[in-house]
Amino acid sequence: ATPLLPIQILFVNLLTDSLPALALGGEPSEPEFMRSQPRRSTAIFGRDSAAALLGIGALIALATFAAYAWGQTSGDDALASRLTFATLVGSQLSASFAFRSQLRSVFQLPRNLWLLFAVAGSALALVAVFYVPVLQDAFETGSLSPSEWGAVCGFSLVPFVVVEAVKLSGLARRLPGDE
């Protein structure tokens, strides 16, 4: 059995690439942006950005695979699929907070209410897929127990926690391309 159905993958893209992306697009620039030295010209997907892109992608993949593996321990492929789907959406939504700044922690930034509303709306849409009968049928899902939702939340926070820890430790300032 496949962990995700095509309609679930499309829904993941809809939830994570629409409202949160629009809210991030309206994020004000960082205060020191105009005072910093110009960066050297690089390709959009150059060596400097590759580490960040691969790193966050690997963290989201790790969280999603961990949710799938945890679901598989029950011997229930359908549960493993539901956990995978929910964690993939959740980890991308949680990571959207870390994307607000390359160097500063989300805890050091002013609130972005648009992002909060966008993530909350996307999370509500995800929950609806698990509890509204017509959506359960369309997405081949079913409800999750509170402990399963707890696991989804825990797995989903992995990318956010790791990226924020890197920023708070100062390591992000020492990476190439971030001078």
State the average pLDDT for the chain.
86
Neighbours of 96 (CB within 10 A): 23
Residues 6+ apart with CB under 8 A from 91: 59, 60, 63, 64, 155, 156, 157, 158, 159
pLDDT the model gives residue 85:
97
Given a cut of 70, whether residue 176 has pLDDT beyond it is no
pLDDT for residue 38: 67
Position with higher pLDDT, 23 vs 73: 73
pTM, two decimals, is 0.85
Position 37 pLDDT exceeds 70 = no
Report the length, in residues, of the chain.
179
In the chain, the amino acid numbered 76 is: D
Which has more pLDDT, 30 or 53? 53
